[in-house]
């Protein structure tokens, strides 16, 4: 997973009050498509997404996507090249949906909620995303050391760092953000839920516990 336009650095000063202006960050940076081509690409990716939800990434084939989308197999190959290209594009598509939710979506994940509420909502959204796209995410990690440099992951780090600062967390908020994100990494989420059989609610509760320890709620006014 690569990208040519990195998000702002978490250590940059940002805007007054600790806010940082963030923008959607694609995993890959393909050339812009014509409107009709973009619609066709989205149609294919939505078909692939529905298929993956039903049968898993291992059973996702170019032929199955073509059938589900009602197009010829050659159309899918022309758009994505091969199955690997399809999987990477699908992950990019779903990642941008997640980004749109926490950058511009409704509360409590989006910007209309207080920072602490957004922080509590962020973890469950990412945990469910990582759980649902485990195969896609791990297949894209060809170099573990590059995981932290992927633009989508850097955007998450910047976002969580910003929310910690706005919520009044003390200490090195960038390192605290790394700690929070490490607790919901895709491989760890898969290990806990699938391999250990841990209930999802327990994993979600762990996120809320960490957030509460790092950013205690202010005392209620008398």
Burial class (CB in 10 A: 0-12, 13-18, 19+), 77: middle
Can you read off the two tokens belonging to residue 90? 């699908």
Residues 68 and 168 in one domain: no
pLDDT tens, residue order, the chain (222 aa):
333 334 444 444 343 344 444 555 555 545 555 677 788 888 899 898 888 877 777 778 899 999 999 999 999 999 999 887 888 788 888 888 899 999 999 999 999 999 999 999 999 999 998 887 777 777 666 666 667 777 888 999 999 999 999 999 999 999 999 999 999 988 888 899 989 999 999 999 999 999 999 997 765 544
- Coil, strand or helix: which one is 31? coil
| pLDDT number for residue 217 | 72
| pLDDT number for residue 52 | 80
Residues 51 and 91 in one domain: no
Buried b (16+ CB within 10 A) or exposed e, 140-175: beeeeeebeebbbbbbbbbbbbbbbbbbebeeebbe
Residue 138: which domain range? 83-216
Torsion over CA of 119, 121, 124 and 127, rounded to 10 degrees?
Answer: -50
Total domains, the chain = 2
79 Cβ contact partners less than 8 Å away, ≥ 6 residues apart = 40, 41, 44
Residue 103 lies in a domain: yes
Peptide bond connecting 133 to the previous residue in cis, omega within 30 degrees of 0: no
Q: What does the alpha-carbon distance between residue 82 and residue 101 come to, in Å, rounded to a whole number?
A: 29
- Coil, strand or helix: which one is 74? helix
Residue 73 belongs to a domain with what CATH number?
A: 1.10.10
Residue 135 belongs to a domain with what CATH number?
A: 1.10.357
């Amino acid at each position: 997973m690569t990208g040519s336009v990195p998000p702002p650095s978490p250590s940059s000063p940002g805007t007054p009050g600790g806010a940082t202006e963030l923008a959607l960050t694609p995993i890959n940076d393909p050339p812009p498509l014509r409107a009709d081509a973009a619609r066709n690409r989205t149609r294919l990716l939505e078909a692939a997404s529905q298929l993956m939800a039903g049968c898993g990434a291992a059973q996702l084939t170019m032929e199955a996507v073509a059938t589900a989308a009602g197009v010829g197999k050659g159309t899918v190959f022309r758009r994505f090249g091969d199955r690997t290209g399809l999987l990477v594009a699908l992950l990019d598509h779903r990642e941008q949906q997640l980004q749109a939710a926490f950058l511009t979506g409704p509360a409590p994940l989006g910007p209309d909620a207080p920072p602490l509420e957004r922080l509590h909502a962020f973890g469950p959204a990412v945990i469910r995303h990582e759980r649902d796209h485990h195969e896609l995410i791990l297949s894209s990690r060809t170099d573990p050391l590059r995981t932290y440099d992927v633009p989508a992951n850097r955007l998450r780090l910047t976002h969580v760092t910003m929310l910690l600062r706005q919520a009044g967390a003390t200490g090195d908020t960038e390192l605290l953000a790394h700690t929070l994100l490490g607790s919901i990494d895709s491989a760890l989420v898969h290990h806990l839920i699938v391999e250990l059989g841990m209930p999802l609610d327990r994993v979600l509760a762990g996120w809320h516990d960490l957030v509460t320890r790092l950013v205690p709620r202010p005392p209620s006014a008398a």
